[in-house]
């Protein structure tokens, strides 16, 4: 296995670790339920798909796809480092709106999903672009 393939597989492992940690963090926000876990996983997978869709063609046209891969991984690291503060801010905003008690259950679910998508959007979209960039570099 060459260095690029090892790096890509290590990034995939890190993405799974991030997904697991985010799911546990958002349990404090969503509550522990199958629907809450499914929501976080859907946002994660949706971000990966959107990143591949948007950034994949860009990787094909990029003069140095390995540099694009490196910048995307750096973006993932920076955005992921910010997620604990962003989760706390999202939780604070949700509680400030009154939470499930003040909001109708359907509206509360939509607000929680929107806040989670805002928190996870940047790192998951960047993650979605790393595989096309790594494949193009190889």
* Domains of the chain by residue range: 3-137
The pairs formed by 94-100 with CB atoms below 8 angstroms and a separation of 24 or more are 94/29
pLDDT digits (tens, 9 = 90+) for 14-28: 778 888 888 888 887
**CB-based contacts of 52, cutoff 8 Å, min separation 6:** 128, 129, 131, 132
Residue 122 has a CB neighbour count (10 Å cut-off) of: 19
Q: What is the pTM of this model?
A: 0.82
pLDDT digits (tens, 9 = 90+) for 81-114: 999 899 899 889 988 888 777 888 888 888 888 9
């Amino acid at each position: 296995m060459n260095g690029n393939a090892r790096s890509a597989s290590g990034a995939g492992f890190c993405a799974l670790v991030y997904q697991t940690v985010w799911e546990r963090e958002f349990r404090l926000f969503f509550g522990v339920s199958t629907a809450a876990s499914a929501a976080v996983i859907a946002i994660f997978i949706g971000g990966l798909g959107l990143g591949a869709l948007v950034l994949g063609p860009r990787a094909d046209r990029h003069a140095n796809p390995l540099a694009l891969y490196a910048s995307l991984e750096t973006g993932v690291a920076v955005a992921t480092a910010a997620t604990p503060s962003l989760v706390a801010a999202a939780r604070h905003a949700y509680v400030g709106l009154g939470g499930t008690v003040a909001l109708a259950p359907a509206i509360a679910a939509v607000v929680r999903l929107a806040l989670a998508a805002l928190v996870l959007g940047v790192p998951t979209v960047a993650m979605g672009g790393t595989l096309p960039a790594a494949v193009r570099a190889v």
